[in-house]
Structure 1
Amino acid sequence: MNVPGDDEDDHGEVFLDEDDIVHDITVDDEDLPDADDEAGSDSEDTEEPDDSMHLFTGHTSKVSTLFSFRMLVEIICCSMDFIVCYKDLVSTLAFSTDGQLLASGNFDGLIQAWDVPSGSLKCTLEGPGGGIEWVRWHPGGHLVLAGSEDATVWMWNADKSTYLNMFSGHGNSVTCGDFTPDGKTICTGSDDVSLRIWNPRSGENIHVVRELPMLLIFFPHVGHPYHTEGLTCLTISSDSTLCITGLKDSSVHIVNIATGKV
């Protein structure tokens, strides 16, 4: 086998040995296009093609293409039970902490919870008037949190298929959010250039963190200096004390969750 990196092989053919085969996958002939239909070649004088696909190890772009194809096939096969249930693009997926449920959200505003062991649909959760941007699970149970393009955040109990709370206050699409690891607080970020910190039980908006330079001069309690463009992502420290946010103006800020201060 040619060794990747040899100068003479950088732009030449890639030769692979039988030892490089990772796994043979048998493919049903009926699932493959007829070679004659695709290439228009005369098949009478050719040998019957091998009906298996070989996957090889290596580091060249040609070999990487084989691995990419294999990954695509696996993703399609593993997702077949879920694909047919939506009329619109699936935008987000998340496993529950115990791995028993999978939540999927899409741009028609629906959340569906799936039983992972059986692959069956457990429940469909409705409410948001816009597409689902993200879904998250409570660290201690089967509570689902989702942010929507309609500027709202929703929470459901997936075990009982019941609505629990709706968090309203953002002025634009809610692009990111999560429970704190202790499960006691929710943090959400939006294209309205704000981070909001919520009490999940009462729905109270505890803190609003945003850029309000003029208002802060006269009303320091309204908010804290912050980003200047919409938030794109956030993550929360393992001790549930800090929320780190990133956004479109290429900046990152650390926010104290208890005080709301940057």
Structure 2
Amino acid sequence: MDFSRDGRSIVAARNTLRSGSIFVLELWDAATGEHLETLPNRDHTPEHSGTISSIAFNPQAQLLVSASWDHSIRLWELGNGNSPQALYGNRSEVWALTFSPDGRTIISGAKDGSVRLWPTNHVSNDKYIAGEWSPLRVSSGGRILAALRENTFGLLNLRTGDLEDEIPLSKAQEPERASRPVHFAGLGSLVSSDLGVFVEPIPGAVRIWNLRTKESRDLKTGEMPLRSLNVSPDGLSLVSSTERGTLAWWNLTDSSIAPVSIAAERSFFSGNGEVLVALSE
């Protein structure tokens, strides 16, 4: 699920069979809740043949990119009804993606740990960053990529591909869960938009990292396994979800305040952090 930068539209993937279609994108008007469009919008013309794992609007809200476990990426031009561009080059399931701040580059992360950079005006892979990284978020200046790999949070220079800084993470996560893409449905939601706060799931809690001081503190979330985490753009709030279909909205500035409980399964903040979208079956 994603919120357009202008706050006007919401997109979500439908990965279950309904109304004769599967692996499609649904768009809604954020203000009215009106359904705007289904992509692809022609019957019996599927694009993705596997689970849609990640979606992102470009900053201008004119393009939409989707990634899938079928190893493909699709770039959709909204409102014209044309077939999307297919981006080729991945050899594994694509688990995560994001746009650069200027909207000219797509950054994708795959199950095999590869990170690839794609110009939006080409249909082939343009650049490759070595290392088993999954992209989280690009800095507002477009120079730094926050990324995640096994037991490490890193800040990568997009021009050189060099690792500029890193933080060792907990090794105590259950290995069978750490390898699943459950936390990869929206990796950008693990870090604030200013790259100031990163949240790390650990057994029974969430570790809150201040990326400027490299100090951390733990927030107890209970024994129920977490399904997703979503930090607000300003780094002041956190929404967690469990497999029971319950969201908890935490105030990160005061851990003594009890979280607000919401009956939903997934959530997403608008670009300015003023609106939270909750998704349920």
Give TM-score, length-normalised by structure 2. Answer: 0.52
Distance 1:79 1:200, change over 3 A: same
From 180, 185, 191, the counterpart of 2:139 = 180
1:254 aligns to 2:209 (yes or no): yes
Q: Which residue of 2 aligns with 1:105?
A: 67
Matches within 5 A, 1:2-151: 74=35, 78-81=38-41, 84-151=46-113
1 CA distance for matches of 2:78 and 2:157? Answer: 30
Give me the identity figure in percent: 16
- Residue identity in the other structure for 2:199: T
Describe the shift of the 1:260–1:180 C-alpha distance in structure 2 as closer, same or farther (beyond 3 A).
farther
CA drift of 1:121 comes to 3.2
Match of 2:122 in 1: 160
What letter is aligned with 2:103? G
Q: 1:255 to 1:124 in 2, by over 3 A?
A: farther
Contact 2:67 2:97 in 1 (8 A): yes
Measured in 2, the distance between the counterparts of 1:181 and 1:151 equals 24
Greater relative contact order structure (CA < 8 Å, 6+ sep): 2
Q: 1:245 aligned to 192, 196, 199, which one? A: 199
Q: CA deviation at 1:143?
A: 0.8
Larger radius of gyration: 1
CA displacement, residues 71-97 of structure 1 (integer Å, 9 cap, x when unaligned): 8x948x623438701222222211111
Distance 1:91 1:167, change over 3 A: same
User: Could you say if the C-alpha distance between residues 141 and 79 of structure 1 is closer, same or farther in structure 2, counting changes exceeding 3 Å?
Assistant: closer
Partners of 1:209 and 1:170 lie apart in 2 by 15
Structure 1 residue 163, shift from structure 2 partner: 2.5
Task: Say which structure is richer in strand.
Answer: 2
CA contact (8 A) 1:132 1:149 kept: yes
Unaligned runs of 5+ in 1: 1-31, 33-70, 212-225
| Alignment TM-score, normalising by the size of structure 1 | 0.56
Give the Cα–Cα distance (whole angstroms) in 1 for the partners of residues 136 and 195 of structure 2.
15
- Cα RMSD over matched residues? 3.1
Matched positions, count: 171
Contact 1:95–1:137 under 8 Å retained in 2: yes
Q: Is the Cα–Cα contact under 8 Å of residues 40 and 83 in structure 2 kept in the other structure?
A: no
Report the structure, 1 or 2, having the larger helix content.
Answer: 1
